[in-house]
Structure 1
Amino acid sequence: MNSNNALKVGILGFGGLGQAATRVLSPKQEMLWVAAADLKGYAYCETGLDPDTAIATYHQQGSIGYVEPYGTLSNHSIQELLENATVDGYFLALPNLPNTFMADVARQFIASGWKGVLVDALKRTSAVEQLLQLQDELKAAGITYMTGCGATPGLLTAAAAIAAQSYTEIHSVKITFGVGIANWEAYRATIREDIAHLPGFDVEKARAMTDAEVEAFLDKTNGILTLENMEHADDIMLELAGICSRDRVTVGGIVDTRNPKKPLSTNVKVTGRTFEGKISTHTFTLGDETSMAANVCGPAFGYLKAGISLHRRGIYGLLTATEVMPQFVK
């Protein structure tokens, strides 16, 4: 597929995940990165943006809006990008802080009259529930919205949905993740979202923390975040898919914010009873060398490709990672 036929992709949010997404896209022939927006501006070039220039500009000047000559500074960056850019689909690499933010962004797309595919890597069950309330509006707007399409929820939830097929009854789905990052500041929003899951914290409290306060908190924990029984949308996604009730799904893990080596191997264990009455467990383990960014952005674009093929067949509305197989982006 030459670049003229390549799917044109936009990225909303240009923190650690958004920047990693441009690196994932750069070798792809089937997708072309043409648009991005952050809080202070946006950039659009229909023949493709350069990741190196964009990331360097963002680090030096604090916004993709400074990218010459394709950037525009704006306090309404998403709105203006939608009006000016021709894009097949967007990866919403946005921090879901506050917890209503992604649903608000979806409403913005609906109101704008834009038609196409949206993919997110949302984590919280309550955030996905808000999107479920927008199902009919998304459908009427001609938007195919794929939610929970990162690593967890996403890759691991989809693996659980496949693993469940061996059983007549699912007893438990246990997702355990290990994340290693050399420097928390590369993933500020992600780390704040993780802190929000800890006892004594919530989304608003974590959102209000200054970088210095996050730094001080991580000093107290030696840079380690231990997360248990998280409010993670894997539960509602597996319930919606009819695999098991959400109370049988647990998600937790360890995040090391000072060491790129994973503190433990990310895996999903699906335990159930077969038709012969045997109790067994399937385990799917991710390679330790794959980064959080690889396991989030790769699936997100696979689901984006799948979403575009559905959109072209007139299938609109809200879908989750457990309902559709991602398509590999060459």
Structure 2
Amino acid sequence: MTNLANPLQTSNQPIPVGVLGFGGLGQAAARVLAPKQQMKLVAAADQKGFALNPEGLDLQSAIAAYKTQGSLGYLDPGGTLSTQSIADLIQQSQNVAGFFLALPNLPNTFMASVAKQFIDLGWKGVLIDAIKRTSAVEQLVDLRAELAAAGITYVTGCGATPGLLTAAAALAAQSYAEIHQVKITFGVGIANWEAYRATIREDIAHLPGYTVETAKAMTDAEVEALLDKTNGILSLEDMEHADDIILEMAGICGRDHVTVGGVVDTRNPKKPLSTNVQLTGRTFEGKISTHTFTLGDETSMAANVCGPAFGYLKAGIALHQQGLCGLLTSAQVMPHFVS
């Protein structure tokens, strides 16, 4: 009898997956995976090393090694210290079905350069990211043919925004004959910015007077000084956010119809405002209306990024098993729930 819940998984064994990056987002990804039955974390990398264990990485031991010794390379068993951790892990990961690239896209060319490493090293499988910037996705578009030829299925923009909210906009668009505006507004609350250093730097890069390069170059003390001036609040408007190119690639609307902004509170876990997407359009009867999809305030940034990410990874694996390779986006694929 066909398993309708998961027809493409060939056995009852969990799917072996990996995470690149083990800062705040990477550790959250590991926590999300820990109770799952359909996937297991077997590989992870940070700047100084990596860990690989076909039986699965122990969550608490991995986090302890990273926090106390500074790298997964110290994990026993399975850890290896390395100055080229991503390349070394890729070369040993032919049996890993897919990777979540939980990496900071600093500099703005970084995600494309990582994808190129997978291509050049002959790895085949599924890659997904939670990328933010439009220009970063444009670089991946340039790699579309190379990804397909390499046997890689790459799904981009698989976090919360782009990701969950972009997909919601794509679904909401079906009620309309013409899309006038997509407006994404996010609220993020975190108790301590140091748990998400790279993410906060990416947000700072969107502030007036800052660039990706200046944000990357900031010391922790300089970030602290900026946050002291703003009472821990980052208010972001008209961001260069890849929801626009993703919705354009899906044929929903031109990128000039999409706006993204929000508020990040780096000193309070409570969201400063509710995260939502509003899509306004004209129906076939000529009526102008707006659909709104709002995320529950109790869901964290980590939950809204990592949950969809692994849903898209599972969907990507199903597509890869059918021979579909190349570049896709979160607005072109329906994520599969990972139980």
- The TM-score bracket by the shorter chain reads over 0.9
Q: Deviations over 1:35-85 (max 9, x none)?
A: 000110000110000111111111111111111121000001111111223
Mapping of residues 137-216 of structure 1, within 5 Å:
137-216=146-225
Q: Which runs of 5+ in 1 are unaligned?
A: none
Pairing of 1:46-125 with structure 2 (within 5 A): 46-85=54-93, 86-125=95-134
Question: SS of 2:99's equivalent?
Answer: strand
1:3 and 1:32 in contact (8 A); partners too:
no
Same amino acid, percent of matched pairs: 76
Residue 36 of structure 2 is matched in structure 1 by 28
**Matched residues in 2 for 1:56 and 1:261: separation?**
26
Q: Name the aligned partner's letter for residue 321 of structure 1.
A: S
CA deviation vs aligned residue, 1:170-227 (integer Å, no higher than 9, x gap)? 0000000000000000000000000000000000000000000000100000000000
Query: What residue in structure 2 maps to residue 16 of structure 1?
Result: 24
1:92-121 deviation digits (Å, cap 9, x = unpaired): 000000000000000000000000000000
- Looking at structure 2, the residues matched to 82 and 208 of structure 1 have their Cα atoms a distance apart, in angstroms, of 28
Moved over 4 A (4+): 1-4
Alpha carbons 1:160, 1:173 under 8 Å: kept: yes
Unaligned runs of 5+ in 2: 1-8
- SS of equivalent to 1:244: coil
Aligned to 2:319: 310
Distance 1:249 1:239 in 2: 9
Looking at structure 2, the residues matched to 82 and 201 of structure 1 have their Cα atoms a distance apart, in angstroms, of: 34
CA distance in 2, matches of 1:154, 1:160: 10
Residues 254-293 of structure 1: matches in 2 within 5 Å?
Answer: 254-293=263-302
Q: 2:140 aligns with which of 106, 123, 131?
A: 131
Would you say 1:7 and 2:15 are equivalent positions? yes
Cα RMSD over matched residues? Answer: 1.1
* Structure 1 residue 2, shift from structure 2 partner: 11
Q: TM-score of the superposition, structure 1-length normalised?
A: 0.99
SS at match of 1:53: helix
Kindly provide the amino acid, as one letter, of the partner of residue 156 in structure 2.
Answer: T
Residue 269 of structure 1 and its aligned partner are, at CA, apart by: 0.1
Q: Which amino acid aligns with 1:67?
A: L
The answer to whether the 8 Å contact 1:3/1:30 transfers is no
CA deviations on 1:269-319 (whole Å, 9 max, x unpaired) are 000001111100000000000000000000000000000000000000000
Q: State the TM-score, normalizing by the size of structure 2.
A: 0.96
Q: Deviations over 1:140-196 (max 9, x none)?
A: 000000000000000000000000000000000000000000000000000000000
Tell me which amino acid in the other structure corresponds to 1:131: L
